[in-house]
Structure 1
């Protein structure tokens, strides 16, 4: 399961109770940039700017997919593991992500449907894990060098 991928949440719990972390793609992009910046300050080797953008895009797409297809973001974690960044996004749905063809059965171009292929292209490792309480966690590892 994804328990082995747990890290400290990027958004701290509020006094009202636990909060799931970034619930909007822009928040996910900022969280990834923040974690990478903090690690670079702590003495990690510098990260390629394009690689940081790739990691932000992966976080944004996973968050968007959780909102559109998974019933919302239920958990979000990001951490730097040596030369890589790992983004984990959980949602309420047990359905696995799928890549949709760019055209519908009548040959018309579809809008959307590009997020999952983007994640799979940019990430070095992608895992989808069922959660014990229902839903799933998607973990994507993006190289930073």
Structure 2
């Protein structure tokens, strides 16, 4: 596991925020919110490159998909952009901690799926799992944004 932290679920981080309402936590909705947060009003990639945008979109998709498959559904999503990173927080109903999946089945065949948590831990510079006071958990992943030479 990346890291578990017992921080309060009410800890906040300063910076511009884009929040997807609890009812619309599909991977497509979350990817759209991440794009809006990173691209801003200019419609361009601004100072962030395509790889950084792709990493942020993939981490957001994996966190939401894992919450849907293993966490009893998405109860909240927040994206916060800072100068050097994008912070993605996904809350779900489960108290169970995420674990990396075994890529092989009992007879040694490669499994389909089961790599989401490993992807998140690989692409994020920091991942924190916090218990929520009302039950469930929040996973916050910080994905670095590289700055293009033109920026």
TM-score range, shorter chain: 0.7 to 0.9
TM-score of the superposed pair, with normalisation by structure 1? 0.85
RMSD of equivalent CA atoms? 2.0
Higher RCO by CA contacts (8 Å cutoff, separation 6 or greater): 2
- Farther off after superposition, 25-34 or 130-139: 25-34
Contact 1:10-1:21 within 8 A present in 2 as well: no
Which residue of the partner structure matches residue 89 of structure 1?
90
Give, in whole Å, the separation in 2 of the partners of 1:141 and 1:21.
23
Q: How do 1:1-40 and structure 2 match up within 5 A?
A: 1-5=8-12, 8=17, 10-11=19-20, 19-20=21-22, 22-38=24-40
Kindly indicate whether residue 49 of structure 2 is the aligned counterpart of residue 48 of structure 1. Answer: yes
Name stretches of at least 5 consecutive residues in structure 1 with no aligned partner: 12-18
Name stretches of at least 5 consecutive residues in structure 2 with no aligned partner: 1-7, 147-151
After superposing on structure 2, the runs of 4+ consecutive aligned residues of structure 1 that deviate more than 4 Å are: 6-9
TM-score of the superposed pair, with normalisation by structure 2? 0.82
More helix by share: 1
Question: How many positions carry a matched residue from both structures?
Answer: 135
Contact 2:18-2:80 within 8 A present in 1 as well: no
